[in-house]
Amino acid sequence: MVITVEIRKMYKYPFELVVNIHLNKYPTPLEEHVTGIKTVEEKTDNISGIIYRRKIATCNNVIPKFLRKISFLNVNNVHIEEESWLDMKQRILNIKSRCLTWAQYSTFHEVSVFKQSVENPNWTEFHQKGSIVVTGAGKLNRLCEVFAQAFFNKGVKKSVNIMETILEQRCGRPFL
C-alpha cells in the first residue's frame, strides 16, 4: 500500500527569506531528532544560474522499540538525502528527498516546491507531497506503513511550525 502525505502552506514572508531559512534551519533546538546536516555537493550552472545542492541529514531513529525487533529497523541513525535546485531568476526552489537508510526495504520520497506567490510578491507558496511504501518487513509491512503515516503527518506539521517560528524570530511578524 502507498502512504501519501501532502501539504500546502502560504508563508507571508518574501521568497529569499523563506528559502534561506529552509536551507539553513537544521540543526535547531526546535527539532531534536535532526542531529546534523552535511552538504556533500554544491554547484552553480554557469548558464542558468541554478544552484544545485545535495545534503545528507542525520536523524535519530524514532521507530518504536517493538518495531525495532525487525532487524533492519534497529539502527541508531537514519540518513535522508535532500537534493535542491534554487532558481533565483524564476524565484523557485525545487527539492527532492529520500531515505537512504532503508532504501532496500522501503521507498520514501518527498517532493517540495517553494515559489514566490502570484497572490502577493512578498509571500512564498510551499507545496510538499510525499509517499512511502514498505516492502521489506514481510507480514509487518502494513504495520510499518501505519507508523510511517502517523510519523510523517506529525513531522510535516512540525516542520511547518519550525519554519514559522524561525521566520518570526528572525524576521518579525509576517508581511501582510
3-state per-residue secondary structure call for 115-137: EECCCCCCCEEEEEEEEEEECCC
Q: What is the distance between the alpha carbons of residues 66 and 140, in angstroms, rounded to a whole number? A: 11
Classified as helix, coil or strand, 57 is strand
Q: Output the pLDDT for position 140.
A: 84
Contact 1, 133 (CB under 8 A): yes
Q: What is the mean pLDDT of each run of 10 residues along the chain (176 residues)?
A: 92 97 94 96 98 97 88 93 98 97 92 97 96 88 87 91 95 82
Q: Which helix (H) or strand (E) holds 61?
A: none
Q: Output the pLDDT for position 143.
A: 87
Q: Output the pLDDT for position 103.
A: 92
pTM: 0.92
Q: Output the pLDDT for position 128.
A: 97
Q: Output the pLDDT for position 24.
A: 94
